[in-house]
């Protein structure tokens, strides 16, 4: 029997982890394993998903479309040895992954007959597009959208009908007509994601024959920052404001001297930042991953700023 694999792609902060958590917490009773790939060396995504499934494997410090292809294969083999076997494996790519590279790894002869990539799904951040239309000009964004069987819209709550129509037209212009909004098409979308073999538009097979997209990780600069103790929230906010122009994505857990004993989850996508209470069981201290545009984001300067918090 070949295990179905669902590959989830999408830009940095698009909403991939949120979609996986939604899937894992559904009342469907399916045994789902997840492999999540964080670009940095701190595995924030695995922590954000842990608790929803016992089968979560985190791949860090690289990208499964290139440097971590071997780790992806090893993780899949680990899952294939589990008893009971998962019924579905979801592979969450990092936001900088080229889908063709992931498929290249998954079409490894060692896995042949054991796993089948049934569908490639791309999460498209509606807010990012309405905030800044130029995101759709990015070759990586285009490769992720073009390489998908279907698209899932995130952050679409509150969009006007005119904006939705414009988004559908934009996706149609990319040759994509299958665009699902979890707020409106929740049931149909869940059925498709749980049974990816029914998606059937053959993106994986097409991607397997494609050259890699002209996208490389050196467009990005990253910083992983940890501290055993707490930080000052007002100073942290000022530091983030200073860094924001060069940042694309930041996330992680923080302990604040202003809220002792309350672990916080910090998220930044583009210019939007949120801080919320994290799971109370979160390990104490601060663990942050910051990803910026190479040349605009200086990890050493960012580290110095954070140390001053």
Determine the Cα–Cα distance for residues 93 and 110; give it in Å rounded to an integer. 21
Where does this chain bind ligand GTP (CB under 6 A)?
10, 12-18, 45, 94-95, 154-155, 157, 249, 251, 267, 269, 274
Determine the Cα–Cα distance for residues 36 and 215; give it in Å rounded to an integer. 20
DSSP E strands in 164-219: the ranges are 179-180
Phi-psi region for residue 211, left (φ > 0), alpha (ψ -120 to 50) or beta? beta
The torsion angles phi and psi of 226, rounded to 5 degrees, stand at: -130, 155
Residue closer to ligand GTP (CB basis): 12 or 306:
12
Residue closer to ligand GTP (CB basis): 14 or 111:
14
Residue closer to ligand GTP (CB basis): 92 or 149:
92
DSSP-assigned letter for residue 1: -
* Angstrom distances, CA of residue 277 to CA of 47, 247, 274, 282: 14, 23, 10, 10
State the nearest-atom distance from the C-beta of 263 to ligand GTP, in Å. 16
Residue closer to ligand GTP (CB basis): 17 or 75:
17
Beta-bridged to residue 159, according to DSSP, are: none
State the nearest-atom distance from the C-beta of 81 to ligand GTP, in Å. 27
Q: Is the peptide bond before 84 cis (omega within 30 degrees of 0)?
A: yes
State the nearest-atom distance from the C-beta of 147 to ligand GTP, in Å. 16
State the nearest-atom distance from the C-beta of 114 to ligand GTP, in Å. 26
State the nearest-atom distance from the C-beta of 244 to ligand GTP, in Å. 15
State the nearest-atom distance from the C-beta of 301 to ligand GTP, in Å. 22
Beta-bridged to residue 249, according to DSSP, are: 269, 291
Q: What is the 3-state secondary structure (H, E, C) of 181-194?
A: CCCCCHHHHHHHHH
Residue closer to ligand GTP (CB basis): 60 or 249:
249
Helix (H) or strand (E) holding 90: strand 88-92
State the nearest-atom distance from the C-beta of 84 to ligand GTP, in Å. 27
Residue closer to ligand GTP (CB basis): 18 or 237:
18
* Angstrom distances, CA of residue 275 to CA of 43, 96, 163, 253, 292: 18, 24, 28, 9, 19
Name the residue whose CB lies closest to ligand GTP: 15
């Amino acid at each position: 029997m070949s295990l179905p694999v669902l590959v989830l792609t999408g830009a940095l902060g698009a909403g991939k982890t949120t979609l996986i958590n939604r899937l894992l917490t559904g009342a469907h009773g399916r045994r789902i394993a997840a492999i999540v790939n964080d670009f940095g060396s701190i595995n924030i995504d695995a922590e954000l998903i842990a608790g929803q499934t016992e089968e979560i494997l985190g791949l860090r410090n690289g990208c499964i479309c290139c440097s971590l292809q071997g780790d992806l294969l090893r993780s899949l083999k680990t899952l294939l040895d589990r008893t009971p076997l998962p019924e579905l494996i979801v592979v969450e790519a990092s936001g900088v992954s080229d889908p063709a590279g992931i498929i290249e790894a998954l079409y490894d002869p060692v896995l042949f007959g054991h796993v089948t990539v049934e569908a490639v799904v791309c999460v498209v951040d509606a807010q990012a597009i309405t905030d800044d239309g130029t995101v759709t000009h990015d070759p990586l964004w285009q490769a992720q959208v073009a390489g998908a069987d279907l698209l899932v819209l995130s952050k679409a709550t509150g969009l006007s009908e005119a904006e939705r129509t414009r988004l559908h037209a934009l996706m149609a212009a990319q040759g994509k007509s299958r665009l699902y909004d979890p707020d409106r098409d929740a049931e149909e979308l869940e059925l498709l994601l749980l049974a990816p073999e029914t998606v059937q538009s053959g993106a994986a097979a097409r991607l397997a024959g494609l050259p890699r997209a002209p996208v490389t990780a050196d467009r990005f600069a990253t910083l992983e920052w940890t501290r055993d103790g707490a930080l000052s929230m007002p100073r942290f906010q000022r530091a983030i404001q200073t860094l924001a122009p060069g940042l694309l994505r930041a996330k992680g857990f923080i302990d604040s001297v202003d809220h002792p004993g309350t672990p916080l989850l910090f998220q930044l996508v583009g210019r939007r930042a949120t801080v919320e209470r994290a799971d109370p069981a979160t390990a104490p201290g601060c663990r942050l991953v910051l990803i910026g545009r190479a040349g605009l984001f200086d990890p050493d300067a960012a580290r110095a700023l954070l140390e001053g918090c």
